[in-house]
Amino acid sequence: MTHDRGPGMTELAPEPVAAVPDPAPEQPTVADLAGKARRAARALARASRGVKDEALHRMADAVDAAAGPILTANAADITAAEAAGTAAALIDRLRLTAARIAQLSDGLRSLAGLPDPVGDVVRGWTNPNGVQVRQVRVPFGVVGIIYEARPNVTADAAGICLKSGNASLLRGSSSAARSNVAIVEALRQGVSQTGLPADSIQLVPGPRSVTDELMAARGLVDVLIPRGGAGLINHVVGNSRVPVIETGVGNCHLYVDADADSCMAITLLLNAKTQRPSVCNAVETLLVHREIAEDFLPEALRRLVDEGVTVHGDERVAAYARDVPVVLATDEDFATEYNSLDIAVAEVDSLDAALAHIRRYGTGHSETIVTDSQSTAQRFVAEVDAAAVLVNASSRFVDGGEFGFGAEIGISTQKLHARGPMALPEMTSTKYVVTGSGQVRA
C-alpha cells in the first residue's frame, strides 16, 4: 500500500548503509595453477617452432615496453630488502637496471634463434623384422621452478620452458615479488599475442606453505627445479614428492699448479673472483702449490686486497702476506660459498693435496686448474668430480649463455638426467616411437 505525502511532509533521508569492502580475490591453489598449466602444456606440445619463436619475440618486445614499470617494481623490492638488512650480495642479485632488462629481452630473442629440441631423434634404428624404433625428445609438460631473489631467472626460465614446449610454474622469493609480477605480466601479454595460452607462464603466489604444496603436487607437476642457496636446495631435494633436478651451490676452487704461468693465474683469479662475486660460478677458494707459492702468493694477495677482497688464509698463507691483511681461516671458511668479495686461500704440497682439498670441500659445480703441464691438466680433469672442469680459463665461463646455449635454468650438479648448464635439451625428456607395418611378436 502506498501513501501520498501530505502538505508539509518531507521525505525522510534513507538510513546510511555501511560500505562493504570488496572481498579479497581468493588465492588460487597450486592445484588450480597446475591444472591451467597442464592445459597450456598440451597446446605447447602441439606448437610449431615458428609459433614458439614468435612468442619469444613478442615476450621480448613486451619486456622492453614494460621496462619502466619493471624498474619501478624492482626499486620497491630493493628498498624493502635494504630496510630488512639484506646482504649486499643478495641485493646485487635482486637489482635490475636498464641494461639488465635489455639482457632479459636479448636472452629471449637469442632463444628464438636456437634449434628447437622437441622432436629431435636421439637415436633410431630398424630391426630385422622391419619395425622402426626412434627415441625422440619431448617436453616434460609442467615444470615448477623455485628460486630466490634474482628476477632475471623469471624471464630466463619462462623462455626456456616455452621454447622446449613446457608450461612453467614460477615460485620466486618474496624479496622479488613486485619485480616478478611486473615481468610475468609482460611475458604473459607477449605469449597471448601469438595465440598460445597466457597460462603457459604463471607465478605461484602465497605464503611459504605454498612452496610445500608445490613440492607435494606429484601428478600435477612433472618436475621441480630449485635454484638458490644451499638451504633452499636441500629443503626441496629432501622434502619434494615431485621429481627434482638439483642445481647446486658453487664452492668453486682455482688451483695454481707448480707449472702455472703466474701472470695468467692472477688474471684468471681476479676475473673469477671479482667480475661478479655474487654468482655461483665465482671462485671461492684459491689453492697454490708450495713450489710456486713464494713467488705467486705475495702478488696475488696484494692484487686481491686492492680489488676489495677479504682474504681468509691459513697460517702458511699468512706468512706470505707481508703488509696485506689476512683473516685466519677456519674449516668453515673453506666450506663456504661466499657470494661476496671474500676468498679462502691455502697452500698445498702437491696436486694430490689439491685434489683431496677439493674432494673434501667442493660442491661439484666448477673447478679450475692453471698449469702448463698437459699431463697434470689431464689428471686434474680425470679426477675432479664436478659438473665443469676448466683448464687455464675463468670459471665465469660456466654459464649457458657463455657455452652458446642461450639462457639457462641453472647449473645442475647432480649426475642423473642433466649435469652442468641446463638449457633447452635438458628441459626435455624422451619417448620411444615404434613404427611397423603390421608386424606381431612371435
Which domains are assigned to the chain?
A: 32-114+138-248 (3.40.605.10), 252-401 (3.40.309.10)
What's the pLDDT at 13?
Answer: 39
**CA–CA distances in Å: residue 59 to residues 112, 161, 169, 264, 284:** 11, 13, 17, 41, 36
Our CA dihedral for 321, 313, 255, 269, rounded to 10 degrees, sits at -60
**CA–CA distances in Å: residue 229 to residues 216, 267, 334, 337:** 21, 28, 17, 9
Instruction: Report the C-alpha gap between 146 and 164 in whole angstroms.
Output: 18
Backbone angles phi, psi at 143, to 5 degrees: -115, 125
What's the whole-model pTM score?
0.83
Distance between start and end Cα atoms, the chain: 91
Give the residues of the chain that fall short of pLDDT 70. Answer: 1-25
Instruction: Identify residue 251 by its one-letter amino acid code.
Output: N
CB 345 within 8 A of CB 288: yes
Reported as type and span, the H/E element at residue 327 is: strand 327-328
What's the pLDDT at 20?
Answer: 47
* Antiparallel, parallel or unpaired: β 252-256 and 420-422: unpaired
Instruction: Report the C-alpha gap between 53 and 65 in whole angstroms.
Output: 18
Please state whether 438 falls in left (phi above 0), alpha (psi between -120 and 50) or beta. Answer: left
Q: Could you tell me which of 111, 237, 45, 141 has the C-alpha nearest to residue 429?
A: 141
Sign of CA dihedral 174, 176, 178, 182: negative
* Antiparallel, parallel or unpaired: β 223-227 and 142-147: parallel
What's the pLDDT at 60?
Answer: 98
